[in-house]
Amino acid sequence: MFQPIGFEQRFVNTSLGRTVYYTAADSPWQDDLTTKSDRETLVFLHGFGGGSSAYEWSKVYPAFAAEYRIIAPDLIGWGRSEHPARNYQIDDYLTTIREFLEQTTTAPVKVIASSLTAAFTIRLAIAHPDLFQSLILTTPAGLSDFGQDYSRSFFAQIVSVPIVDRLLYSSGIATGGGIRSFLEQRQFAKPSRVYQEIVDAYLESAQQPNAEYAALSFVRGDLCFDLSLYIQQLTTPTAIIWGRKSEFTGPDVGRRLAQMNPQAIRFFQVLEDVGLTPQLELPAVTIGLIRRYLPLLE
């Protein structure tokens, strides 16, 4: 799996299996002069989709490795973490992300998360506020927000048909052409920003044994929920970044969510000409915004 220079793989065991994560452990980030045991921790959580993994944040988190302890996991069912053969449910991720944080951190942490995982993180921060210091979220959406039911969409219904779902995954999702097409047409605002390394990283993750289980659970809508039913309970200081051209959930939904809880959601930034994952499409801009918000949320 693709990982930045100076980072290594480690893992912890959760109730659903081994969760691999990436952390700085070598030069240029760790040496006799820079190693500090009291560094604050930044946790980067990737979103969901065919071939998702911690690679999604790999162009961003090295920019913070000189100042923070960086932790970027492949969530259960994705990347190089274990892929239990099961139909995944929301509680699977609420539980395993909580277990991961409890095993890798010792104090409330600053979490940076993406899309549906960002929405899960909001629910975790509501249920376990002691685990979180602040949140910076890109496009946090439950994908069934304000009463919309993604699971009833045409594509979700097709993927719910047995045998057809595995065929669609193997022939349409877990291929280089399928991944490039999705990135160019649905995930990025500008197809020219999709380069071969991104496609290769997504493809390697998508072709891991049993990778179809988590991906199909997501595509069927099994993991979707209405975030508007929860967001008013959030107390953790939060900043939200939203791509104007996010294909699945537009910034109007994000703005409505933010307006439901201005006490916790202190910043809402729309990025023009950006899609679902600004951290891959415009990593330098994303780094700049994270640097801006980290001290403001303290």
The answer to whether 227 touches 171, Cβ cutoff 8 Å, is: no
Q: What is the pTM of this model?
A: 0.95
**Residue 152, in any domain of the structure:** yes
The answer to whether 279 touches 57, Cβ cutoff 8 Å, is: yes
**Residue 1, in any domain of the structure:** no
Count of structural domains within the chain: 1
**Residue 73, in any domain of the structure:** yes
Q: What are the strands, taking DSSP E only, across the chain?
A: 7-14, 17-24, 41-45, 69-73, 109-114, 132-138, 238-243, 265-271
Tens digits of residue pLDDT in 96-143? 999 999 999 999 999 999 999 999 999 999 999 999 999 999 999 999
**Residue 212, in any domain of the structure:** yes
Tell me the residue range of the domain where 284 lies: 7-296
Mean pLDDT of 153-160: 63
Q: What is the CATH number of the domain that holds 125?
A: 3.40.50.1820
pLDDT band per the 50, 70, 90 thresholds, residue 170: confident
**Residue 2, in any domain of the structure:** no
Tens digits of residue pLDDT in 27-61? 898 765 555 567 899 999 999 988 999 999 999 99
**Residue 93, in any domain of the structure:** yes
